[in-house]
Amino acid sequence: MFLVGRHSGAPEAAATTKGTTGPRPRSVLVLALGMTITLVAWGVLVGTAIEFGKDARSGEPEAWTFLVLAALGATACLFLALLLGTRALSMVRRKPEPPPRPIGGRRRKVG
């Protein structure tokens, strides 16, 4: 009888998985520091946008431009802080990455 299929024959060498040692503390700290800096920048830009909003409502037309720029900057800072926080959290949780999918899919040509 011929040995056919993946589960017949001698077992292959066990593949080493990445990330079994856990995250490096330095990289998690760098992400946490970056998240803290972007959150502080977000708070400063929100406060600045509020001040420009007060000036714009009192009749200064150039304050509208600065209000929009401060609001866009605050949005970008909050988005970046959320991205950095998500990456740091995923490093702390240490979930292993799934194995790579075989090239060719399910009906690949064997042999």
How far is the C-alpha of 57 from the C-alpha of 91, rounded, in Å? 45
- Note the pLDDT of residue 90: 86
pLDDT on residue 4: 63
Confidence of residue 1 (pLDDT cuts 50, 70, 90): low
Between the alpha carbon of residue 101 and those of residues 26, 34, 68, 73, the distances in Å are 31, 33, 45, 39
pLDDT at 98 (0 to 100): 78
pLDDT tens by residue, 23-72:
677 889 999 999 999 999 999 999 999 999 999 999 999 999 999 999 99
Residue 19: the pLDDT is: 47
Q: Cβ atoms within 10 A of the Cβ of 39, count?
A: 17
**What does the domain layout of the chain look like in residue ranges?**
38-92
Assess contact for 66 and 88: CB atoms under 8 A: no
Which two three-digit tokens encode residue 111? 């042999």
Q: Among 4-13, 29-38, 90-99, 101-110, where is mean pLDDT lowest?
A: 4-13
CB-CB contact of 75 with 45 (8 Å): no
Two tokens at 46? 């929100």
